[in-house]
A and B are shown apart, each in its own frame.
Chain A
């Protein structure tokens, strides 16, 4: 069962622009995490936001969490060609196991 659903499915932007990806989920969570996957590779953990947090920053990444709407967003500022990848949200609803969404494919054109 997929808990998180990302939106949009695909996003194409120019280098230097900001990229925003959204994630919605269905049940109460302990935390929500974002991962990046380059083609044919494993996933890389980007950021974790706990259920009692509303916003978190890491470098060019900004994540927000709205537990009342069961949604999260990932903002990548000043995007670079190297940001081209698939981005997944994953939710931990307890039991220490993550449930992943289908992902957003981001293409940054140089």
Chain B
């Protein structure tokens, strides 16, 4: 079955530690996206990529980094520079132009 897989489902980060969230899709979608969701709020765009080896900052990119070395994979690193990383992180993919997104099931990151 085609889909988009995020791992891990739950992640705990210590102060000052970098962590990487995985996102893999087998839908052959060109574009991939990372969003952050805080309680009671909508989704805010962190980074997006429309082609391999290229990505753009979204609205809240500070403290995050990404790579797009393969079409199928778009990992997100939450660095120690992100001062308030506790949130629900959602990865999505899409065909470009006027198509809906397919979302993963999310990773809940908590700072301990």
Chain A contacts to B: CB under 8 angstroms: 1-2, 4, 30-31, 33, 35, 40-45, 48, 50, 88, 90, 92, 96-103
Contact = CB atoms under 8 A, between A and B. Distances in A.
Interface of B: 6, 31, 33, 35, 40-45, 48, 50, 58-59, 88, 90, 92, 94, 96-106, 108
A101 B42 CA distance: 5
Given A96-B31, A96-B50, A96-B96, A45 B102 contact: yes
A103 to B, nearest CB: 6
B42 A102 contact: yes
B108 to A, nearest CB: 8
A99 B60 CA distance: 12
Which of A1, A42, A50, A98 lies at the interface centre, i.e. has the most chain B CB atoms within 10 A of its CB? A42
Given A40-B106, A100-B43, A102-B40, A48 B99 contact: yes
B42 A100 contact: yes
B105 to A, nearest CB: 5
Given A48-B98, A92-B98, A42 B103 contact: yes
B3 to A, nearest CB: 10
